[in-house]
Amino acid sequence: MNAVILAAGEGKRMRPLTYERPKVMLPIAGKPIMEHLLEEVKRAGIKNFLFVVGYHDETIRDYFGNGADWDVEIQYVTQKAQLGTADALWRAEKLVEDKFLMLNGDTIVSADDIKRVITGDITLGVIEVTNPEEYGVVETEGAKITRIHEKMREPPSNLINAGVYLLDENIFNALSRTPKSKRGEFELTDSIQLLIDEGNRISWQKIGRWTDVSYPWDLLAANELLIDRISTDIKGTHEENVSIKGKILIGEGTLIKSGSYIEGPVVIGKNCEIGPNCYIRSNTTVGDNCHIGNAVELKSSIIMGNTKIPHLSYVGDSVIGCRCNLGAGTKIANLRFDNAHVKAKGLDTGRRKFGAIISDGVRTGINASIDAGAIIGNNTLVGPGAFASGHIEQNSRIL
């Protein structure tokens, strides 16, 4: 059986983190979202993959190659213009046969759930949520689906489309007849509704574990969920007087210097320099080639590769992109005085503790301060002693 993974989109709600990479390549617990998904599909017994790529496709192709490092086989097709999920799947028509698994590349489901979906007839994986108005909702009658809705204010059920499908060749006939939606895209859910309206039986299977990442702050919740499943594996080295508690992954070539205190679960990548005298708290992921230095405290954050936080800084409940450099004394606030949920881009993050989203190439001067809920675009400079707040566009100067 083939697994078709749709990974052509940018993920506009994830901006500014997706200016240089597709959403599926954002890191969670030390791996891109799409790698977590690939590993679960492989555990379910499927080793033949077809990736539908488009936006910054070179990022995916360079990382996964032909799949040999994961003991799977990967083929690629390109969706040059992002015209919707139906258009993306259409690109795979000549490369799949019989029944095949199809997944959205920006969600993570378990191998056990995948096995349940692929053992029956044509099936859609669904999950019950408390906020169905934010997703595509499914109506059912017994074991079959009767209707799939796009987002709606008053959904008829709490069952939503989880983006996990068992399909066959009939879907391609429906794709060829699917009109553009109100959003100006060709929607796969419209194609499936065509099949249902024509009397085809589409079953549903409830799944138990589902990780959805829609907005930048959702990366933190997903990181907390997945990092808790790691097992300790220390491939780097550490000097004397280093304290390591709980589960921790440390990559090859990484040095933990004296006085550093690490409370797992924590993931630290390859070729990093950690310490001396830093404090890395639980649910933190540090990418490859990073420097976390003296008197720095990290808490429940994602630090992407090639970033430097060398002196006297605090980063809590935040996502820091690649190639950032935080000057000495940079502090990120992560709690409002009234203890209410932090807002970002005018949206409720649902988090009482949330720091900032700092995209690739951002630099701060000494004693810079960043407000809770700040979103800072690529290559922005926050000068010495400056205060950054709200939504800041890329290439800005805050002085």
Compute the distance between CA of residue 267 and CA of residue 352 in angstroms, rounded to an integer: 24
Question: Which residues, in sequence order, are CB contacts of 184 under 8 Å at separation 6+?
Answer: none
311 carries an active-site annotation: yes
Report cis status (omega within 30 of 0) of the bond before 32.
Answer: no
By residue count, the chain amounts to 399
Compute the distance between CA of residue 259 and CA of residue 208 in angstroms, rounded to an integer: 42
Q: Which residues of 36-74 are buried (b: 16+ CB within 10 A; e: fewer)?
A: bbbebbbebebbbbbbbbbbbbebbeeebeebeebebeb
Catalytic-labelled residue, pool 291, 311, 341, 391: 311
> DSSP H helical segments within 198-311, as ranges?
218-227
Residue 132: strand, helix, or coil = helix
Nearest residue to 279 via CA among 266, 265, 264, 298: 298
| Cβ(368)–Cβ(399) below 8 Å | no
Report cis status (omega within 30 of 0) of the bond before 27.
Answer: no
Dihedrals φ, ψ of 320, to 5°?
-115, 125
Q: Which residues are catalytic?
A: 311
